[in-house]
Structure 1
Amino acid sequence: MNSTRFTPADAAELYGIHNWSSGYFRVSDKGEVEVTPGPGLNAVLPDIVDEIVARGESLPVILRFPQVLAGRVRQLNEAFRTAMREYDYQGRYQGVFPIKVNQRRMVVETIASAGYEYAHGLEAGSKAELALCLAQNLHPDALLCCNGFKDDGFIKLALWGRSLGKNVVITLEKFSELERVLKVARQLGIRPAIGVRFKLNARGSGQWEESGGDQAKFGLNAGELLQVVERLRQEDMLDALVMLHTHIGSQITDIRRIKVAVREATQVYSDLVDEGAQVKYLNVGGGLGVDYDGSKTTFYASANYTLAEYAADVVYTVQEVCKSNEVRQPTIVSESGRALTAHHAVLVVPVIDVTGPTRGLQSIPEAAEDQHQIVKDLEEILANINTRNYREMYNDAVGDKETLHNLFNLGYLTLRDRARGEALFNAILQKLAKLVAGLAYVPDELEDLPKVLADKYICNFSLFQSLPDNWAIQALFPVTPLDRLDERPTRQGTLVDITCDSDGKIEKFIDLRDVKATLPLHDPGTRPYYLGIFLMGAYQDVLGSAHNLFGKVNEAHVTARPGGKHLVELFVRGQKARRLIESMGYEEDMLRGSIRAQVDRARAAGRLDDTQTVELEEDYGEELLGYTYLEYEE
């Protein structure tokens, strides 16, 4: 990074690609981002985008890489297999994917297919999710865990699933659900397989720390758990209790919290076995973290452990407690969702414009003949500021800018004077930023200069639809230009979307040491400039809102081939405007009828001729059936 020439290796370091990509993305020698889903496989992301555009499709687009999904399934299962061989663990591991993380068909089917040889299962938290899961081709031993609160219909569907040969386990989230399960099971004559979620005292870390502990939304306490055991014993159904389920939250950043929780869960499991329960599955829940910022710390956007370390610590802890208590070692179950899906999806957004104060002297309006003295004062500051007087000059400039606006409000300053004064102030800030960049100490009042001077890169997407977690909980996602990574970025920017909402912006970016307020970017110039937003495959697809009626974006399912080749196996077009409008209670016929009536009145009044009438109705119809995002004609 210190050399004069900027290289792709410098770009990889600048954007932290090696730190957060888990080996699935890299920068090529040509300065382009590539996906690398496996040995000998790579595909160039700008090439994929160019092909999509050449087909006449519109951006933004989500690129999905099923090979990455399948690779994550294998990595998780092999990590547990390796740990179990190392410790001579006497049980097995079976993963379960909670489809609430991403219910997209490609995601669920890819995980089910890649996980078949591992008996990797699914988790449903609603009747609709269960209906989806039952239709999947799962290994006969694969678990289908039914979590969440349940009514009779949910329980019936789960029990019918057992009749279909599925390994369905109904998790009790509260004590009162037990009687409901027993009642429905008697009605259908189907013996249930029951799991019980237990409220651990242990708690997670990070954004979802409140998911665990005594105040957790789901789960039974120790007394209620013992009541379940006794009630099943009364029914001569203690063998139906097959799973102990625990969960302390999503995106757990600290491995020590995981080990504490697993130890407590295994102790509960051991006591259940001593009570006569034939529990064979110990479900340690979700929480396997994703290192979004690449810092490998306990920061909320990171995780201080690897997938292999997670598996090893879980296996070792379960085995240690079981050996100490002299009970059989259970099949370990985890419900990892984020860690499986985050890496497989990249949101590609085109930059459509850049605004901001970094235009320099050339953007300063010409001076008026009778220019006000306050503007002349700002000119003098700009000409004379240097490393010896920059703090004094900065304070003078701030005061002059405030005076400038006060004078304008009182009518003593023209609009031209105001425009020139504001431009001069921005130029002063630019000069200040260059002066302090090389200083060992930057005064507190100047620390926010990069953010103040940042350009706003207007991108064709909706934050609320595609990255709702960034808006709602300030989640961080890596952002990187897809090409030109052999060129040094010369600007600092923030990202704004095309919604009519001031919150539709990204002003926090990943950094190894902290959170950056700006992102290094290139001057787009006249060429298309595409940004990739990475690690957004978990939750974002299913949490997105229709703010401003921007709908789901186009998506391409892409397979990487040897030699940098790729195949776009499937292109799924995003939501049409008509579908979004109908979801709000309107009907297309009603809309068209209203427009037609208005057109007839306008034509009768002479505001439209016959040609315009046809053209207006055609344009209106095209937009109803069109993409909800901006489409520019070249």
Structure 2
Amino acid sequence: MDYGIKIWGGYDFIIEDGKVVINEGNRPAIIDIVKDVREQGFKGPVLFRFPHILKKHVNSLFNKFNKYIKEYEYSGKFSSVFPLKVNQYPNFVKYLMEKTKGKNYGLEAGSKPELIIAMSYVNEKCSIVVNGFKDKEMISLGFISAKMGQNITLTIEGLNELETIVEVAKEMGPPYPNIGLRIKLHSSGIGIWAKSGGINSKFGLTSVELIEALRILKEEGLIDYLTMIHFHIGSQISEISPVKKALREAGNIYAELYKMGAKNLKKIDIGGGLAVEYSQHKTLHSINYTLDEYASDVVFLLKMIANNKGVPEPDIFIEAGRYVAASHAVLVVPVLELFSQEYNEQKLCLKEHNPPLIEELYELYNTINEKNAVEFLHDSLDHMESLLTLFDLGYIDLIDRNNTEVLVHLIIRKSIELLKNKNLSELKDIQNMIQERYLLNFSIFQSLPDYWGLGQQFPVMPLDKLDISPTRSASLWDITCDSDGEIAFDADRPLFLHDVDLKKEDYFLGFFLVGAYQETLGMEHNLFTHPTEFVITFDEEGNYKIDDIIEAQNILDVLDDLDYDVKEIERRLKQNIEDSDLIPDDEKKDVIGNLYLVLSENCYLKTIAGSKN
């Protein structure tokens, strides 16, 4: 089973010898890198970053757009900026800039801290675009960037920002940053981010405001600094038609502004929205277009509009942060427990005389075979419902209830094993009745917040055993004490995993395409923090190297982030131990030592009873 890797993997990851491997260098298996870092003492969930994937996806953007620029004899140029809101982590930003040197690939900022990151790490002569609401201080940072010789554009979200730019220009003098205007389109996107576009969207200038902005720029002698218009109709645009509609509208606005006197207006920033294929299932694709189609439509439509209007063909800017970032990161999570494995024959406590239904269950378990497996499974589930009702009414005792649960689970496991080589639809009928619950050592709220908040699906699969058919329909539970910390089994998007004995072997799941938005949106629910991360690079011989490890925060660091006085916490705990009459004096030093050992560790589980993980 390939878990749809050919649908979502983009050949960044492939399967060889039953393992997920990185399609780079000597193609190491991810499971082998996991074993490597665990031998170094790093337990719990880990995040792997693969900078070569960033380079590959940026190259794809430039190659596709330049292909159609050449094919359509388009006179404008292609450039791109990465929107930092998608991923601001240093091990992402620094490697992104390193891997894109030589291209006009810059950074987009939407806040003061993001602008500071952009000013610090953008490659020389590459663009900085500043979006979002701005105060005088943030606009002043833009002027400082211009004085540093950087190619920065302040995109105006409202007329008050333009008035502040005029004020700061008079105070600070030249050189000035370039100015962009964010336009409010009638066109909107599609899906859960559709509200990013449309006339009622949060950002942008209406037609009335655009004309007023042009007037102010002319009056203040800043019209030559108006170089860009910008629009954004939403993230993860699943269909191409809203993009084409927005391009027609924005292209005509560009042409009209140019004809009204904005002669240095040469760029259109079409924002983000280029979608990523998250689906693992052939019938549930996330997008209906390719990068080829997207690039072709953008170039063709802007050329057609410019030519029809008699204005220069504009330079094309694109953000496409999700497309660039999503694939580069993989979250690897250890499985701690399979809950049904507590039900085994050793747990049976059969009496000399058992209730008739339990005797029948025992008979079903001993006589089940391939021909009668489905029928016997149905019978056992019916018997369980009857026996649980009898328990509620007081007619059977707790030992009988224990035997009921154990026997039914044993029958389920046996029936799945008997039918594992049968038609999948037949097996699926069984799996829909009952799923195995896999307890995973991570927090959904921290590492997959878009799943919890928006229902965003992420590809998930075992990292090995892919040459063995999985037999258990899986519900995934995280270790938070919150019932929402679950990825429930979905019959429309079924996830099947292996029936493994965790006392004898480790079992790891990989969550893919998690490099966009998940990290900075992740919340510290239950005070679980960012997993330990590793950057995986390749040397000239194709061997992988582990670089730039950032460990998960320890418990004291987490509490310090919440503004606790950690020194006071340490003092209180130490004093409580020293004052305790329950701890012998000669043991108190060891107890304090054990306490400090725990405080110095991260918050994820090291292991649970009976598990190797």
TM-score normalised by structure 1 residue count: 0.88
- Supply the distance in 1 between the matched residues of 2:262 and 2:64 (Cα, whole angstroms): 29
Matched residue, 2:94: 109
**1:103-252 aligned within 5 A:** 103-140=88-125, 142-190=126-174, 191-252=176-237
**1:307-322 aligned within 5 A:** 307-322=291-306
- Supply the distance in 1 between the matched residues of 2:506 and 2:96 (Cα, whole angstroms): 34
**1:524-543 aligned within 5 A:** 524-525=501-502, 526-543=504-521
- Unaligned runs of at least 5 residues, structure 1: 1-10
Q: CA deviation at 1:387?
A: 10
Corresponding residue to 1:58 among 33, 43, 53:
43
| 8 A Cα contact 2:420 2:471, kept in partner | no
1:468-503 per-position Cα deviation (integer Å, ceiling 9, x unaligned): 111111211111222222333333322222211222
Matched residue, 2:23: 36
- Supply the distance in 1 between the matched residues of 2:342 and 2:208 (Cα, whole angstroms): 65
Corresponding residue to 1:411 among 394, 406, 422:
394
Question: Aligned partner of 1:27: which letter?
Answer: I
Corresponding residue to 2:494 among 517, 522, 525:
517
Matched residue, 1:621: 596
**1:546-565 aligned within 5 A:** 546-561=524-539, 565=543
**1:442-591 aligned within 5 A:** 449-507=430-488, 515-525=492-502, 526-561=504-539, 565-591=543-569
1:55 and 1:630, CA in 2 relative to 1: closer, same or farther beyond 3 A?
Answer: same
- Supply the distance in 2 between the matched residues of 1:522 and 1:316 (Cα, whole angstroms): 53
Matched residue, 1:260: 245
- Supply the distance in 1 between the matched residues of 2:573 and 2:319 (Cα, whole angstroms): 51
Question: Aligned partner of 1:521: which letter?
Answer: H
Give aligned-pair identity as a percent. Answer: 36
- Supply the distance in 1 between the matched residues of 2:272 and 2:241 (Cα, whole angstroms): 15
1:41 and 1:383, CA in 2 relative to 1: closer, same or farther beyond 3 A?
Answer: closer
- Supply the distance in 1 between the matched residues of 2:421 and 2:42 (Cα, whole angstroms): 43
Is 1:90 the counterpart of 2:75 in the alignment?
Answer: yes
Matched residue, 1:304: 288
| 8 A Cα contact 2:51 2:99, kept in partner | no
SS of alignment partner, residue 589 of structure 1: helix
| 8 A Cα contact 1:494 1:505, kept in partner | yes
| 8 A Cα contact 1:70 1:110, kept in partner | no
Q: CA deviation at 1:562?
A: 6.4
- Supply the distance in 2 between the matched residues of 1:296 and 1:218 (Cα, whole angstroms): 36
- Supply the distance in 1 between the matched residues of 2:395 and 2:269 (Cα, whole angstroms): 73
Alpha-carbon RMSD across the aligned residues, in angstroms, is 2.9
Question: Aligned partner of 2:163: which letter?
Answer: E
Matched residue, 2:273: 287
1:296 and 1:493, CA in 2 relative to 1: closer, same or farther beyond 3 A?
Answer: closer
- Supply the distance in 2 between the matched residues of 1:439 and 1:619 (Cα, whole angstroms): 54
- Supply the distance in 1 between the matched residues of 2:425 and 2:489 (Cα, whole angstroms): 23
| 8 A Cα contact 1:430 1:453, kept in partner | no
| 8 A Cα contact 2:109 2:131, kept in partner | yes
Corresponding residue to 1:270 among 242, 255, 274:
255
Q: CA deviation at 1:413?
A: 1.3
Corresponding residue to 2:314 among 330, 334, 338:
330
1:411 and 1:339, CA in 2 relative to 1: closer, same or farther beyond 3 A?
Answer: same
1:595 and 1:454, CA in 2 relative to 1: closer, same or farther beyond 3 A?
Answer: same
Corresponding residue to 1:365 among 331, 339, 348:
348
1:377 and 1:57, CA in 2 relative to 1: closer, same or farther beyond 3 A?
Answer: closer
Question: Aligned partner of 2:497: which letter?
Answer: P
SS of alignment partner, residue 571 of structure 1: strand
Greater shift in the superposed pair: 472-481 or 108-117? 108-117
SS of alignment partner, residue 208 of structure 1: helix
Aligned residues: 605
- Supply the distance in 1 between the matched residues of 2:429 and 2:139 (Cα, whole angstroms): 56
- Supply the distance in 2 between the matched residues of 1:438 and 1:530 (Cα, whole angstroms): 26
- Supply the distance in 1 between the matched residues of 2:213 and 2:88 (Cα, whole angstroms): 32
1:396 and 1:51, CA in 2 relative to 1: closer, same or farther beyond 3 A?
Answer: closer
- Supply the distance in 1 between the matched residues of 2:336 and 2:140 (Cα, whole angstroms): 52
| 8 A Cα contact 2:536 2:545, kept in partner | yes
1:436 and 1:572, CA in 2 relative to 1: closer, same or farther beyond 3 A?
Answer: closer
Greater shift in the superposed pair: 248-257 or 305-314? 305-314
Matched residue, 1:340: 324
TM-score normalised by structure 2 residue count: 0.91
Q: CA deviation at 1:390?
A: 9.3
SS of alignment partner, residue 502 of structure 1: coil
Q: CA deviation at 1:41?
A: 5.0
